[in-house]
Structure 1
Amino acid sequence: MNAPLAKPSNAFVAASWFALLAGMVAFIIGLWNAQMLLNEKGYYFTILMYGLFSAISLQKSVRDQLDGIPVTTIYYGLSWFSTILSIALLTVGLWNATLTLSEKGFYAMSFLLSLFAAISVQKNTRDARFDQPATSAPENRFSAE
């Protein structure tokens, strides 16, 4: 394992959570107020949720590899694929949408802000966890017994 990392500052943790909530809330309020069919709103909401999950999963698998924690190649690849796919699906949806350019930009930027912030929140959560003194050795569920 690499050298211990410093616990993230409270200001950075707060800024990360604020960015995540701001991006998600802006995206969802935009959908709520949009003049589009419910199935279109559902498509964009699902892309947001899929993107957030895949970004967190990608951050975790990349960080695990850097820390020497085993990550299967298939999971690592799926994490990258899912993150890229969520961005591509949003891009295709916005490209074909009958929205103004400012609306398309709004959705794209709030989506990307949310993904980046989700990665930061995951990083902060992990760094804060590893900064705490361990009372016992962590259990490794993936080791061969």
Structure 2
Amino acid sequence: MKKRNTTAFTFLSWASFILAVGFFLIAIWNTEWVLVEKGYYAGIFIWAVYSAFVLSKVVRDNEEDRGEGGGSNFPFRNKDNE
């Protein structure tokens, strides 16, 4: 099986993700909001990140189950793609 991404691309993707999460958490920590607001925004952020990971996995798994393996224009399908 051919590897889809290089090691460098994988590293940069994870580094970018970790930096983005880190900067967000630092920004939340340094705001002058009450603790309830900080918790709300931190919780929503964690929920959004989790949802993005799950959604990407579900879409990828559904594409592989159909045998397409990518290359489709999901969710914008037309009759030629089915």
- Give TM-score scaled by structure 2 length: 0.74
Q: Which residue of structure 2 aligns with residue 14 of structure 1?
A: 11
Question: 4+ residue runs of structure 1 moved beyond 6 angstroms?
Answer: none
Give the AA of the match of 2:21: M
Q: Which residue of structure 1 aligns with residue 64 of structure 2?
A: 67
Displacement of 1:10 in angstroms is 1.1
- Percent identical residues: 33
Unaligned runs of 5+ in 2: 67-82
Larger RCO (alpha carbons 8 Å, 6+ apart): 1
Unaligned runs of 5+ in 1: 70-145
Q: Deviations over 1:74-119 (max 9, x none)?
A: xxxxxxxxxxxxxxxxxxxxxxxxxxxxxxxxxxxxxxxxxxxxxx
Give the AA of the match of 1:68: D
Give the Cα–Cα distance (whole angstroms) in 2 for the partners of residues 48 and 6 of structure 1. Answer: 31
Cα pair distance change 1:60/1:8, threshold 3 Å: same
What is the RMSD of the two structures over their aligned residues, measured on CA atoms? 1.4
- Give TM-score scaled by structure 1 length: 0.43
1:1-145 matches, cutoff 5 A: 4-68=1-65
Displacement of 1:7 in angstroms is 3.9
